Structure 1
Amino acid sequence: MPGFGYFLSCEEHGPADLVEQARMAEQAGFESLWISDHYHPWNGQQGQSPFVWSVIGALSQAVSLPVETAVTCPLLRTHPAVIAQAAATSAVQLDGRFRLGVGTGEALNEHILGTVWPEAPVRLEMLEEALQIIRRLLTGEQISHHGKHYTVENARLYTVPDEPVPIDVSAFGPQAAEVAARVGDGLITMAPDEAVVERFRRGGGGGKPVYGGLKVCWGTDEREAVRTAHRLWATEQLPGELPQVLPTPTHFEQASELVTEERVARAVRCGDDPDAHVEALSAFVDAGFDGVYVNQIGADQQGFFDFYRTKVLPRLRD
């Protein structure tokens, strides 16, 4: 049976609220946590974006659940040697209950230092090189690296976990799925897409775990829940590579004017029908996922956790 986790949204909530949600998630019966890693929110309505590594430190003291970044981009905004140190410390703080989720990122977060935003194939190439550096540093040995994209000289991590940190790679298309199979310890994706899972398995993913995530908006008034989901997360319905190339929350707000409430209602489970929520998560189970992470959109977190504790998670496990 796949595990069911909760997805903490740094774009919507400040650090204290995220820690409290983690506590509620553990009490509700969720088995693990994802946490997003952003510099900006997707739009101004979301309104937050705390530094993920500080929040992970707080989570290590607040809950006993495993934690994974979903996902960190170790390419431009933060050098892979620094990400390696952050991941190592997080794994030590969490006593081995940490996984590093990585991806090729979005211009929204990564362009802020004024660097060129590379095309997707180049970012995949950079990701492979970055993971080589991170894995070597996580051994605790001193390394130097002079590669195509990165230079590291005489670097050594002195605070490292006893076991290697698993690194899962985010992928949405076939080329990224093949890279994830080749260099990752697992796959992260945000739709129950059997074709992506199969491409990952055939490309070398074999028995490696596959994790998926989705957003829902629980509420007793389904129409109001749809409006909330549309106000906060219409950005998720933008097509193609657009979310990877738009540079600011304002640009996302402009593009999201083209996304209707009806489109959001079709894509996001809204309301308080247990069958609809069970169906949404079961789609990932049926597609062969090993873990599913769900995020509640909006402010009513306690109502969501009560609903999932009593009406959704027991049915999924039965």
Structure 2
Amino acid sequence: MLEQFAPSDAVTLAALAESHGFSGVMATDHFQPWVPQQGHASFVWSVLGAIGERTEGDFGPGVTTPTFRTHPAVIAQASATLAAMYPGRHWLGIGSGEAINEHIVGQYWPEAPERIARMFEAVEIIRKLFTASVAGRDVRHSGPHFTMESTRLWTMPAVAPEVLIATAGPVTARRAGRVADGLITTDAPIERLQTLMTRFTEGAKESGRDATKMPKVLQLHLSWAPTDEDAMRNAVVEWPNGGMRFSRSDIRSPFDLEQIARSVRPEDFDGRMVISADPDVHRAHIQRHLDLGFDRIYLHNVGRNQAEWLEVFGREVLPGLRA
């Protein structure tokens, strides 16, 4: 989480994670942290370039929003450049965004249906650019939200990066199955995740594709520390947004969220995030999601105790997981 760590520290931790058996990195694209306590919000594309140099696994932004702060063509260029530098390793995660990051350029912040429409149009532009650029030709776009004059990506890998769409809703998941290369979501009750996977599979089938061959990615927040008390303290202090049982998409300032966070209590995390000192509890929770059909699970320990956590999970959790 680039909201919690200086960029150089994040790169060092990514390399340390790989040394303990982790095989990939998802980095957040935030202009501001969720709450001031977190303290950082570095530019994700710079950090990803450094992570690519220091590691050997996959990496990508989880997720970027090419609809307000940045035009989709610019995101396509950034992604293609990383994929050209690190062939076969970089993927592009795209979401509909939150006001805390996107409103800073002063645009009107629309309701969710328009944000989702803008996201899918952005995906259309990015895929157009990838396809045309691989073929060595120009492409243009004129749509309800974006315009792009005739151009191509002059630095383009032989194989375009995978485009994954982030969603927590079944309607959007089905549409993602039709147009994207894969799905990203966050932890939720198993029944809701099952529905999400089913809708994604249906969408893939409608476009003539096999969802079993498409990446299904989960971002899993957790809190581990040597004691249950420390694990809970880390969650409440460092990641209070994880205990908020409402959408945070319309909140504009970390200082506004800080005021709301004062009402977060330990019981608010029940059913939303595993908080435990027992590695076996975490391993079982991760395994349930692997059994559900997720191909890649990116773990986020919400505390600052990253080095200790990576060592413990690399030794006691990862070896016991079954793909």
Q: TM-score, normalised by structure 2?
A: 0.91
Give the 5 Å matches for 1:194-273.
Answer: 194-204=194-204, 206-207=211-212, 208-240=214-246, 242-264=247-269, 266-273=271-278
Deviation (angstroms), 1:239: 2.7
3-state DSSP class of the match of 1:216?
A: strand
Amino acid at match of 2:203: G
1:281 aligned to 2:281?
A: no
Deviation (angstroms), 1:14: 1.1
140-149 or 167-176, larger mean C-alpha shift: 140-149
Deviation (angstroms), 1:310: 1.0
**Count of aligned positions:** 309
Give deviations 1:44-89, integer Å, cap 9, x for gaps: 0111110000001111211111102110111111110100100011
Partner of 2:174: 178
Q: For residues 116 and 250 of structure 1, what CA distance do their matches in structure 2 show?
A: 20
Amino acid at match of 1:200: F
Amino acid at match of 2:215: P
Unaligned 5+ runs, structure 2: 206-210
> Which of residues 144, 150, 153 is equivalent to 1:148?
144
Amino acid at match of 2:235: A
1:49 aligned to 2:55?
A: no
Q: For residues 95 and 200 of structure 1, what CA distance do their matches in structure 2 show?
A: 27
Partner of 1:164: 160
Q: Kindly tell me: are residues 129 and 92 of structure 1, through their superposed partners in 2, closer, same or farther at Cα, counting changes over 3 Å? A: same
Deviation (angstroms), 1:262: 2.2
Q: Compute the RMSD of aligned alpha carbons.
A: 1.5
Q: Report % sequence identity.
A: 37
Give the 5 Å matches for 1:78-157.
Answer: 78-138=70-130, 139-140=132-133, 141-157=137-153
203-212 or 151-160, larger mean C-alpha shift: 203-212
Contact 2:162 / 2:181 at 8 angstroms: preserved in 1?
A: yes
3-state DSSP class of the match of 2:79?
A: helix
Contact 1:96 / 1:161 at 8 angstroms: preserved in 2?
A: no
Deviation (angstroms), 1:109: 0.4
Deviation (angstroms), 1:265: 5.5
Contact 1:226 / 1:264 at 8 angstroms: preserved in 2?
A: no
3-state DSSP class of the match of 1:267?
A: coil
Deviation (angstroms), 1:43: 0.5
Which portions of structure 1, spanning 4 or more consecutive aligned residues, are displaced by more than 3 angstroms?
A: none
Contact 2:94 / 2:165 at 8 angstroms: preserved in 1?
A: yes
Deviation (angstroms), 1:304: 0.6
Amino acid at match of 1:34: M
9-18 or 217-226, larger mean C-alpha shift: 217-226
